[in-house]
Chains A and B, each alone.
Chain A
Amino acid sequence: GENVEQHPSTLSVQEGDSAVIKCTYSDSASNYFPWYKQELGKRPQLIIDIRSNVGEKKDQRIAVTLNKTAKHFSLHITETQPEDSAVYFCAASERPGGSYIPTFGRGTSLIVHP
């Protein structure tokens, strides 16, 4: 099965700085990579996703890059704001038997200091 490693576990930045979270995966068959944001006590929410036929995707201050050869993908947040503080999870999805089942990383706690 798939194994997803996520680093760092905690990331502390000053407001306005950029933040980068990195994930690696083990199964070369995985081809769908979503990122979720989970605020304390709240449900995970999808913030961006990328498929294996694309190397980079951007949505305002958030971007995701994918390197299928190296089997790693990264989340980039620019001009961070205090409301970006949350736990971020990456996931890699393989498709055994036709259904995409995401394997999540352990999460990165992002703290943005005002």
Chain B
Amino acid sequence: GAGVSQTPSNKVTEKGKYVELRCDPISGHTALYWYRQSLGQGPEFLIYFQGTGAADDSGLPNDRFFAVRPEGSVSTLKIQRTERGDSAVYLCASSPIPLGLAGTTDTQYFGPGTRLTVL
């Protein structure tokens, strides 16, 4: 079946603009994670959804960042008033169940990412 997909693959915007990044998880995966990866760094956790609800949004850097998952499948990461420091690759990942649940086999499947460039 299809893996995790993200659109757009590249997004160039100007400072101060609003952007939306979309993630289509693997069908049936209840857990969805957003990460941000800067050059030469590991992925940095932003927010985690279990179903439709944000179970943990402690990684969102500030209130300019917001994410939704209204029907428990597709998720959108929204960034308001973009700043140059927001430039990074935004990765989405999904897993069948919450990551690391004891006694289960789980794998977090990453999407290809959206490369955001804020000029």
Using CB atoms and an 8 Å cutoff, list the residues of chain A in contact with chain B: 4, 6, 31-32, 34, 42-46, 51, 89, 91, 93, 95-107
Contact = CB atoms under 8 A, between A and B. Distances in A.
B100 A32 contact: yes
Contacts of A34: 108
B42 interface: yes
Contacts of A6: 42
Contacts of A104: 42-44
A31 B99 CA distance: 12
A36 B58 CA distance: 23
A52 B91 CA distance: 27
B2 interface: no
* Residue from B42, B48, B50, B111 with most neighbouring chain A CB atoms (10 Å): B42
Interface residues of B, number: 25
A45 B110 CA distance: 7
Interface of B: 4, 40-45, 48, 50, 55-56, 58-59, 91, 98-102, 107-108, 110-113
Contacts of B48: 99, 101
B91 A102 contact: no
A32 B43 contact: no
Contacts of A51: 100, 102
* Residue from A32, A43, A97 with most neighbouring chain B CB atoms (10 Å): A43
A107 B50 contact: no
B44 to A, nearest CB: 7
A25 B58 CA distance: 19
Contacts of B43: 44, 89, 104
B55 A93 contact: no
Given A32-B100, A95-B100, A106-B40, A101 B108 contact: no
Contacts of A46: 107-108
B41 A99 contact: no
Contacts of B100: 31-32, 51, 93, 95, 100, 102
